[in-house]
Chain A
Amino acid sequence: MFQIEIDHLNKHYGGFHALKDINIAIEQGAFVALVGPSGCGKSTLLRTLAGLEKTSSGDLRIAGESVVHKPPRERDVAMVFQSYALYPHMDVEHNMNYSMRLKRRPKQEIAERTRAAAQTLGLGALLDRLPKALSGGQRQRVAMGRAIVRNPKVFLFDEPLSNLDAALRVHMRSEIRKLHERLQATSVYVTHDQVEAMTMADHIVVMRAGVVEQQGSPLDLYDRPANRFVAGFIGSPAMNFIPVTVGPDGNRLMLEKDQVQSLMLGRALAPGRRLLAGLRPEHLAFTREAGDLAIKVVVEAVESTGSMTFVTASIASQQVVAAHSGRPEVSRGRETELFIAPGNVHLFDPETELAIF
Chain B
Amino acid sequence: MKRYILLAIGLVMTAIYLFPLYWMYLTAFKGSSEIFQYPPTFWPTNPQWSFAEVWQSRGMGRYIWNSLLIAVGVTILVTFMGTGCAYVLSRVRNIWMDMALFAILMMQVLPSSLMVTPIFVMFNQIGLLASPRVAVILAQTAKMLPLYIVLCRATFVQVPRELEEAALVDGSSRIGAFFNIMLPLARNGILVTSVLIFLQSFGEYVYARSLIAKNELQVATVGLQTFMGPDASDWNGIMTYAAIYVTPILFVFMLLQRRIVSGLTAGALK
Q: Which residues of A contact B (CB under 8 A)?
A: 50-52, 71-73, 77-79, 81, 83-89, 98-99, 102-103, 130-134, 136, 139, 146, 150, 156, 163
Q: Name 18 A/B residue pairs within 8 A (Cβ), A-sorted.
A: A51-B168, A73-B170, A78-B170, A79-B165, A81-B166, A83-B268, A84-B268, A85-B162, A85-B163, A89-B185, A98-B170, A98-B180, A99-B170, A102-B172, A130-B267, A131-B266, A131-B268, A132-B267
The answer on a CB contact under 8 Å between B165 and A81 is yes
Chain A residues with Cβ under 8 A from B268's Cβ? 83-88, 131
Type the 1/0 row for B155-182, where 1 means its CB is closer than 8 Å to any CB of A.
0000010110111111111001000110
Chain B residues with Cβ under 8 A from A98's Cβ? 167, 170, 172, 180
Contact of A72 among B168, B185, B267 (CB under 8 A): B168
Q: How far is the CB of A15 from chain B (nearest CB, A)?
A: 15
The answer on a CB contact under 8 Å between A85 and B266 is no
Q: How far is the CB of A83 from chain B (nearest CB, A)?
A: 4
Known contacts A84-B270, A134-B267, A77 near B169 by CB under 8 Å? yes
Known contacts A102-B176, A130-B267, A71 near B160 by CB under 8 Å? no
The answer on a CB contact under 8 Å between A52 and B170 is no
A51 to B169, CA, bound (A): 8
A89 to B270, CA, bound (A): 15
The verdict on B225 contacting chain A, using a C-beta distance below 8 Å, is no
The answer on a CB contact under 8 Å between A81 and B162 is yes
Contact of A146 among B170, B185, B265, B266 (CB under 8 A): B170
Q: How far is the CB of A288 from chain B (nearest CB, A)?
A: 51
A136 to B269, CA, bound (A): 9
20 more contacts with CB within 8 A, not counting A72-B168, A73-B168, are A51-B168, A52-B165, A71-B173, A73-B173, A79-B165, A79-B166, A85-B163, A85-B166, A86-B267, A88-B163, A88-B264, A88-B267, A98-B167, A99-B171, A102-B176, A132-B266, A139-B267, A139-B270, A146-B170, A163-B270
A86 to B166, CA, bound (A): 8
Contact of B160 among A77, A79, A83, A132 (CB under 8 A): A83
Interface size on B, residues (CB 8 A): 25
The answer on a CB contact under 8 Å between A50 and B163 is no
The verdict on B47 contacting chain A, using a C-beta distance below 8 Å, is no
Contact of B170 among A71, A102, A130 (CB under 8 A): A102
The answer on a CB contact under 8 Å between A102 and B171 is yes
Name the 4 nearest CB pairs between A and B, nearest first. Answer: A132-B267, A131-B267, A85-B162, A83-B269
The answer on a CB contact under 8 Å between B169 and A87 is no
Q: How far is the CB of B166 from chain A (nearest CB, A)?
A: 4
Q: How far is the CB of A53 from chain B (nearest CB, A)?
A: 10
Chain B residues with Cβ under 8 A from A51's Cβ? 168-169
Chain B residues with Cβ under 8 A from A156's Cβ? 169
| Among B167, B264, B265, B268: residue with most chain A CB under 10 A | B268
Q: How far is the CB of B185 from chain A (nearest CB, A)?
A: 6
The verdict on B127 contacting chain A, using a C-beta distance below 8 Å, is no
A328 to B207, CA, bound (A): 89
A78 to B166, CA, bound (A): 9
Chain A residues with Cβ under 8 A from B162's Cβ? 81, 83, 85
Type the 1/0 row for B81-124, where 1 means its CB is closer than 8 Å to any CB of A.
00000000000000000000000000000000000000000000
- Residue in B closest to A132 when the chains form the complex, CB atoms: B267
